[in-house]
Amino acid sequence: MRPLAVDLCSGLGGWAEGLEAAGWDVIRVDIADMFAETGTPKPPGCLLVLQDIRTFHGSQARHAGLIVASPPCQEFSWMAMPWSRAKQVARALRGEDEFPANYRGSRTLPELTALFDACFRIQREASEAAGRHVPMVLENVRGAIPWVGRSRANAGSMHFWGDVPALMPCHRHIKVQSFRFDGSGRSFQTAAVKEHAEAGGFRPTSLARGNESRWFNDAPRSPQSISSSSSPARKAASAKIAKVPFELSRWIGQCFLPT
C-alpha cells in the first residue's frame, strides 16, 4: 500500500507529479480546478478536492505521511518589485503609510499571510489528530521572506519552509530575459508573456542535468491569445510557471518515504 500525501493549493500538480513518481498517492486540494480552467488534460487517477484551504481542517489529513503546499505568491512577488506603488503598499501593511488609491489587495498582515498560515495550521491539526508529527514542506517565493520569516532552503527562485530535507538538489537555471517571478526583477507581465510566446514558450533547465522539459509543450501561441489576464492561455502560462519542478518534488518525496 502506497503512503498518502496531501498537496495544498495544488494548481497543475507539480508537487503531485513528483510525489507520485516517488511512490506516494496524492490527494490534491485547491479552491479551483486549474485543469478545467486552463484546458489542461487532467492526469489519470487525479483525486482533486475543491476546497478553500482556509476552511480545510487538518484532521482531514490525519492519515497523510506528508503535506506539501504552494500557496499563491502574487502579492509577495509584487511588493518586492522596485515600484513606488508596491513600496507604498508594503509600508502601509507595516503601518508606516496610507494605501494607494484603488488598491484592492490585502490591508492587514493576517490577511496577507492567511493562506501561508492556514498551511501550518493544517499541519498542526493533522499532527494532533494523527498523534504523530506529519511533516510539511511549503514552497513560495523569496518575496515572502520579509512577511513570513526566513526560508530554510531554496532551489533557484523557489524557497521552502517547514520540514525541508537537509540535502536539497542544486538548481541550474537559464535566465529568462524580462521575466522574474521571485520578486527580484520584473514580474509576470503581458509583454513578457507575449515575447516568450513568440519565441515558442519558456524552456527552463531541469534539476537533472541534461533533462530539459518544456513548460509549453504545444505549438507557440499567438500573443493575442494570452494578452488577457483572465484567458485560459494566460492562466495556463502562470500555472505552469508556478509548478514545482518534477525532479525536485520527486526528490523531496523520496526523502519522506516510509522505510
Tell me the per-residue pLDDT of 197-245, one tens digit each, with 9 for 90 and over: 443 333 333 333 333 232 223 333 333 333 345 566 665 666 677 789 9
Contact 19, 82 (CB under 8 A): no
Domain residues of the chain, as ranges?
4-172+242-255
For residue 44, the model assigns a pLDDT of: 87
The per-residue pLDDT for range 62-81, each reduced to its tens digit, is 999 999 999 999 999 999 99
For residue 93, the model assigns a pLDDT of: 97
Distance of CA 215 to the CA centre of its chain: 15
Contact 29, 8 (CB under 8 A): yes
Cell numbers given for 186: 520584473
What is the arithmetic mean of pLDDT over 32-53?
92
Name the average pLDDT for the chain.
80
pTM of the shown model: 0.78
For residue 201, the model assigns a pLDDT of: 36
Is the torsion defined by CA of 12, 133, 147, 144 positive or negative?
negative
CATH code of the region 4-172+242-255: 3.40.50.150
Q: Which residue has the higher pLDDT, 44 or 180?
A: 44
Q: How far, in Å, are 38, 140, 177 from residue 207 at the CA level? A: 26, 17, 20
**Residue matched to cell numbers 523520496:** 254
DSSP states of 106-129 as a string? Answer: --SHHHHTHHHHHHHHHHHHHHHH
Mapping DSSP to helix (H, G, I), strand (E, B) and coil, where does residue 67 land? strand
